[in-house]
């Protein structure tokens, strides 16, 4: 028996079908090992940035199964994805499963011929590629951990920063500042409709829509032009025409696929990549993480035959495209259909649409230019008493479809103009002036941000989708009508990093680091040197910011907005839900206002001393999850209790089995609803699901009874033990 290991179960099924019974094909289901969450355990910095990996939760059975099969296998092939991450996953499988003599194969397309060809030439794992991916993972962990740490201390707990996500957020914020600084200018659009006069040979008339070539900025001038135009006769004063060509676009890379799918189909980058992954695993397209525009000689021949068979030999023109990325990575082909003759592919609607997009782009890339006849009609008044600017319209007609016949959505709207001669009369139907203002630059869409990241050398094809998902999931940007708007939190985090650690979120630093990772992949430098050269100065810079004041103060409030309690000046501050005005004398004064100036109801003093520190006074506050009572000396004193009414509403009436005199109460946290003891923080007993009031009756091996709280389960298992170590926590294992 021979063993072949891939990442995806669906990919495994497709490959097994092609290999018959010769190979046992198994899936690792992605990564099987990763760094632990605790940074102290994750990386031995002093020992040379040695990562300490752990088998990912839930992957123990995968590792066990592969180990078992490997003992019986005469040959072991690691066929993970053909990029750095795939190379690293192959190495992790080899190490975690203790595979001896395993070889590496890579498929750029999942077709029978490509798979059988790759199996003939197995190789060793490329340790340079593995080291480059490992360096990226360790680097991102170190930068993210230390930058996030300083953000927690100086802005707010729970926020994050990263080597690539923070530069991406900075780019979005830079555009927002451009928009805020933009000063609109008024101008007037003068447009109208004219009717052509029927010719002797052809009595048909047309309606022409023309627009003034010089947009006046003064209302009086706009009104003068309209008045003169309405009172005058019009004629065609000039005709210009030219033949132009439109060349096809290069086949898709990861970046251009994400951009086009966003603009044409409205797909988010992460959605596009998820669909593309399924198409790849089904053997319909080549590997979808690439920055190369190259097509193989075999595929060029197939595409040429497809063009001739569907559209005719007259449309064919074999082309080569130069890859723009200076560090095009390991996947050596553009994204294309594995079989050019397969015009339609996929099972779901999403898959069919994306496959068609890829097919059209690939086929059209090997076709002749489209030919268009572009015409411009210019008109003006005939009397010479007054002068006004020319009015014109431009139109185009496709004279030879070329590649547009394969990719019709790329055509756009054509304006077809009637045949006219200079001097022909035009009858004015309407002429009006519309006041407008110049618009600020547009915000980035997801597709636009990917294009900008690629242009600046930030990130790589495999990271674009995750970069955008991260800044959206963190609440740093909101997507409104496809445009990315930075949130207040995103602005504060970016501003702090720019001012204090700007070097590490700059374009040059991020792009240079990508180049250094590429150098590791090509063997020009080493993992240890790259991380050593970076981390020492970086850590020193981060530690130098420890003494900075908190960055939640965002500047002064307007002078006319005074504190509602003590009439002092106010400042703009950042809270979890956005900006607000706070008294400049906080915490001595709790006065606060919303941004619209209305007064925020502040904490109420209860006239009771804090039972914990005995120096502060208990105050009723309003939090994300309702009212609660806390010490006025927070954060020095972290005493907290629920409001009495809230406590009654949240109480389950079930006594705590840890401290005996407390009751289990419903609470809300970052990860949803949970149940904890009313004596928190003295008693920290917590369960995830609502307690039923019963106690676990499971009899242990020593004869004792478990006695832990039972909690609500599922439809099939309505009740289970709250103790994870108790077999009754998963009653189905007991046959219940």
Residues designated catalytic = 287
Supply the angle between the helices 165-181 and 464-473 in degrees, to the nearest 10. 70
Residues in a beta bridge with 5:
26, 78
User: Are the CB atoms for 662 and 678 separated by under 8 Å?
Assistant: yes
d(CA 176, CA 170): 10
CA dihedral 423, 425, 428, 434 (to 10 degrees): -10
**211 neighbors 392 (Cβ within 8 angstroms):** yes
- Residue whose C-alpha is closest to residue 89's, from 62, 68, 118: 62
- Both tokens of residue 97? 């499963």
Angstrom distance (rounded) from CA 526 to CA 49: 12
Reduced to 3 states, what is the DSSP secondary structure of residue 481? coil
175: tokens are 């555009």
d(CA 691, CA 132): 49
Residue 213 dihedral angles phi and psi, to the nearest 5°: -75, -30
Residue 315's alpha-carbon distances to 71, 293, 407, 413, in angstroms, are: 56, 21, 13, 22
Q: From the CB of residue 207, how many other CB atoms can be counted at a distance below 10 Å?
A: 11
Query: In sequence order, what are the residues at sequence separation of 6 or more whose Cβ sits closer than 8 angstroms to the Cβ of residue 504?
Result: 143, 147, 163, 166, 497, 538, 541
Q: Which residues have a Cβ under 8 Å from the Cβ of 340 and sit 6 or more positions away?
A: 299, 302, 303, 305, 306, 359, 362, 363
Q: How far apart are CA 475 and CA 576, in angstroms?
A: 10
């Amino acid at each position: 028996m021979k063993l072949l290991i891939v990442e995806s179960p669906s990919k495994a099924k497709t490959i097994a079908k092609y290999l018959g019974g010769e190979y046992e094909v198994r899936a690792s289901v992605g990564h099987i090992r990763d760094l632990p969450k605790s940074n102290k355990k994750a990386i031995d910095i002093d020992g040379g940035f040695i990562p300490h990996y752990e088998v990912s939760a839930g992957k123990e059975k995968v590792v066990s199964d592969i180990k078992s099969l490997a003992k019986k296998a005469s040959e072991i092939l690691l066929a993970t994805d053909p990029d750095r991450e795939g190379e690293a996953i192959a190495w992790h499988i080899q190490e975690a499963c203790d595979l001896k003599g395993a070889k590496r194969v890579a498929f750029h397309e999942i077709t029978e011929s490509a798979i059988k060809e790759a199996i003939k030439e197995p190789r060793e794992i490329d340790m340079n590629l593995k080291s480059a991916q490992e360096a990226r993972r360790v680097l991102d962990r170190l930068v993210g951990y230390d930058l996030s740490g300083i953000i927690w201390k100086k802005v707010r707990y729970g926020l994050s920063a990263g080597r690539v996500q923070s530069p991406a957020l900075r780019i979005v914020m830079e555009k927002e500042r451009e928009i805020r600084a933009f000063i609109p200018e008024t101008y007037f659009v003068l447009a109208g409709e004219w009717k052509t006069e029927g010719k002797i040979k052809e009595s048909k008339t047309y309606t022409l829509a023309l627009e003034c070539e010089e947009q006046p900025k003064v209302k009086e001038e706009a009104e003068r032009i309209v008045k003169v135009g309405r009172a005058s006769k019009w004629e065609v004063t000039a005709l210009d025409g030219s033949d132009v060509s439109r060349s096809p676009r290069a086949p898709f890379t990861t970046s251009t696929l994400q951009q086009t799918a966003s603009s044409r189909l409205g797909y988010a980058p992460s959605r596009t990549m998820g669909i593309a992954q399924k198409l790849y695993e089904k053997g319909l397209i080549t590997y979808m993480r690439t920055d190369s525009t190259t097509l193989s000689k075999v595929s060029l021949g197939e595409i040429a035959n497809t063009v001739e068979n569907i559209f005719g030999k007259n449309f064919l023109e074999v082309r080569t495209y130069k890859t723009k990325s200076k560090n095009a990575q390991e996947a050596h082909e553009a994204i294309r259909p594995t079989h050019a003759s397969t015009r339609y592919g996929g099972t779901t609607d999403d898959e069919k649409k994306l496959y068609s997009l890829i097919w059209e782009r690939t086929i059209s890339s090997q076709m002749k230019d489209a030919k268009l006849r572009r015409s411009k009609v210019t008109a003006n008044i005939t009397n010479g008493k007054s002068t006004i600017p020319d009015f014109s319209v431009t139109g185009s007609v496709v004279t030879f479809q070329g590649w547009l016949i394969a990719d019709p959505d790329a055509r756009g709207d054509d304006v077809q103009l009637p045949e006219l001669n200079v001097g022909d009369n035009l009858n004015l139907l309407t002429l009006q002036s519309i006041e407008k203002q110049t618009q600020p630059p547009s915000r980035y869409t997801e597709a636009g941000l990917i294009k900008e990241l690629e242009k600046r050398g930030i990130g790589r094809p495999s990271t674009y989708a995750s970069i955008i998902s991260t800044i959206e999931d963190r609440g740093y940007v909101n997507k409104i009508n496809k445009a990315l708007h930075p949130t207040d939190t995103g602005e504060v985090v970016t501003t702090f990093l720019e001012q204090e650690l700007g070097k590490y979120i700059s374009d040059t630093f991020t792009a240079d680091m990508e180049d250094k990772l590429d150098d590791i992949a090509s063997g020009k430098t080493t993992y240890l040197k790259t991380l050593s050269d970076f981390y020492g100065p970086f850590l020193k810079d981060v530690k130098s910011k420890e003494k900075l004041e908190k960055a939640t103060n965002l500047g002064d409030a307007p002078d006319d907005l005074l504190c509602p309690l003590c009439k002092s000046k106010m400042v703009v501050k950042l809270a979890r839900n956005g900006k607000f005005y706070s008294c400049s004398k906080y915490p001595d004064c709790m006065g606060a206002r919303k941004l619209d100036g209305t007064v925020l109801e502040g904490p109420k003093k209860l006239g009771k001393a804090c039972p914990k520190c005995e120096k502060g006074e208990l105050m009723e506050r309003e939090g994300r999850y309702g009212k609660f009572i806390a010490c006025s000396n927070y954060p020095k004193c972290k005493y907290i209790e629920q409001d009495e009414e809230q406590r009654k509403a949240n109480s389950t009436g079930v006594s705590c089995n840890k401290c005996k005199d407390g009751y289990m109460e419903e609470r809300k946290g970052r990860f949803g609803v949970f149940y904890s003891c009313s004596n928190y923080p003295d008693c920290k007993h917590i369960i995830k699901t609502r307690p039923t009031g019963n106690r676990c009756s499971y009899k242990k091996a020593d004869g004792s009874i478990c006695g832990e709280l039972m909690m609500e389960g599922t439809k099939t298992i309505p009740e289970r033990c709250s103790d994870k170590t108790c077999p009754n926590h998963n009653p189905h294992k007991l046959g219940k």
